[in-house]
Amino acid sequence: MPLPLAAATAGANPVGTSSGGSVPRHVAIIMDGNGRWAASRGLPRIAGHRAGAEAVTRCLKAARASGLEYLTLYTFSSENWRRGPAEVADLTGLLRFYLRHKVAELHSQQIRILFVGEIHRFGPDLCAELARAERLTANNTGLTLLLALSYGGRSEIVQATKAIARAVMRGELDPDAIDENVVSRHLLTAGIPDPDVIVRTSGEHRLSNFLLWQSAYAELVFLEELWPDFSEASFNHVLEIYGRRERRFGARPA
């Protein structure tokens, strides 16, 4: 049975082709609704975050089965630091637990793990664990899992702009040579294809500072279900929606 959703399309393909049921290379997900899921059950917010972590496991299973190459999860936004100290501690504690107890399993599945964001804000101990996870899985050839941690799209663009400006000041880059490719190479996602699909759960219809540059032509899918309820069927339904979209990337329909 189709899941309740509202869907919006952003962009299309330069040659005006349909995705034709093909599997996208890259799906990015804004995992929203953990707090509301917990509140609706009279549970503390940490219970929602733990249930959301289980949804990640289901999502990964479906992504691997589909043949997807890249999956990006908005795990902790730069704005999440504004939450109460107890909730931030719960979130970082949950992250530490999964780094210590789940990375080996992901490694055995040939999943490559990358982290994007202002990772230094988590402190040296947790940063060391993040680095160990990246090193352990660096040569894996299966699904690439990007976890956006302390990430904000505007901040990413600002940092890329500063890096480009410094290259110009050093005489390494001609200002007239700056184009979209140069900007992309200075983003945290350099070398990663832009997402074909961005999904947001919980019925909210906004990007919330997520992959602002990279989402220029992504298909947008908004699901009503809360993230802890996300299932393998939910992921497959997203793929079905993508398969029905026509992507033109600004070109006129044929």
Residue 37 assigned ligand-binding role: yes
From the candidates 13, 80, 140, 209, give the one annotated as an active-site residue.
Answer: 80
34 is in an annotated binding site: yes
Query: Is 78 known as a binding-site position?
Result: yes
| Annotated binding residue 45 | yes
Distance CA 131, CA 162 (A): 24
Torsion of CA 46, 50, 53, 55, to 10 degrees: -110
Asked if residue 185 belongs to a known ligand binding site, the reply is no
Query: Would the annotation count 42 as a binding residue?
Result: no
Exposed e or buried b per residue across 151-183, where buried means at least 16 C-beta atoms within 10 angstroms of its C-beta: bbbebbeeebeeebeebeeeeebeeeebeeeeb
Q: Identify the sign of the CA torsion 18, 24, 28, 33.
A: positive
Question: What are the CA-CA distances from residue 91 to residues 46, 49, 50, 149, 150 (Å)?
Answer: 8, 7, 9, 11, 12
Question: Among this protein's residues, is 80 annotated catalytic?
Answer: yes
| 248 annotated to bind ligand | no
Residue 179 is labelled as binding a ligand: no
Question: Binding site annotation covers 81?
Answer: yes
Annotated catalytic, 196?
A: no
Residue 49 is assigned to a ligand binding site: yes
- Helix, strand, coil percentages (3-state) for the chain, rounded to 5, are 45, 15, 35
Active site residues: 32, 80
List, as residue ranges, the binding site for substrate. Answer: 33-37, 45, 49, 77-79, 81, 83, 200, 206-208
List binding-site positions. Answer: 32-37, 45, 49, 77-79, 81, 83, 200, 206-208, 219
Binding-site residue set for Mg(2+): 32, 219
